[in-house]
């Protein structure tokens, strides 16, 4: 019974992430998206790059870049399952979680996969709360 609850919670999170990503990325029509996140006086960026596209699945690399540094604050790789309407984080900072059927290595917690998907959830919620504008639209206003 414990595993059923864990799976249900994971699927709910992945389904909600799919809905958020579909809204932000407008049904996944383009291969690259760049947004400036609007809060305070900072110019943080969110970038989404489609790595591979099939009729039913997308692989996306999502980056958050802080305006104060040239380093990427975090990098997520996300698989989007269009038919199932699920978006699942497959790696965080280029480290993959151990599969559910394998014993976790010492460096990973048991719920690492869930934590990675929660990071995506919270980041997408932050984008919705603060707003985001496509970078090209901002550049057109400055010309």
Q: Write out 45-100 in H/E/C secondary structure.
A: EEEEEEEEECCCEEEEEEEEECCCCCCEEEEEEEEEECCCCEEEEEEECCECCCCC
% the chain with pLDDT above 90 = 38
Residues in the chain: 143
Q: Which two tokens stand for residue 116?
A: 């990675």
Q: What is the mean pLDDT of residues 94-111?
A: 57
* Adjacent-strand bridge partners of 46: 35, 64
Q: What is the mean pLDDT of residues 18-31?
A: 93
Q: Whose CA is closest to 74, among 43, 110, 46? A: 46
**Predicted pLDDT of residue 103:** 57
Whose tokens are 């699942």? That residue is 88
Whether 106 shows a pLDDT value over 80: the answer reads: no
Q: What's the pTM?
A: 0.77
43-100 per-position pLDDT tens digit: 788 899 999 999 999 999 999 888 777 666 889 999 999 999 999 998 887 665 555 5
Task: Report the run of H or E that residue 120 belongs to, with start and end.
Answer: helix 112-130
Whether 20 shows a pLDDT value over 60: the answer reads: yes
């Amino acid at each position: 019974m414990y595993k059923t609850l864990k799976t249900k919670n994971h699927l709910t999170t992945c389904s909600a992430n799919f809905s958020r990503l579909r809204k932000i990325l407008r049904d996944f029509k383009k291969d690259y998206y760049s947004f400036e996140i609007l809060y305070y006086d900072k110019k943080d960026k969110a970038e989404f790059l489609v790595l591979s596209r099939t009729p039913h699945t997308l692989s996306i690399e999502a980056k958050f870049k802080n305006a104060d540094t040239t380093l990427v604050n975090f990098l997520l790789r996300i698989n989007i399952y269009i038919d199932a309407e699920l978006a699942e984080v497959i790696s965080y900072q280029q480290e993959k979680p151990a599969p559910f059927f394998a014993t976790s290595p010492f460096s990973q917690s048991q719920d690492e996969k869930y934590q990675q998907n929660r990071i995506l959830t919270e980041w997408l919620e932050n984008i919705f709360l603060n707003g985001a504008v496509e970078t090209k639209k901002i550049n057109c206003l400055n010309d």
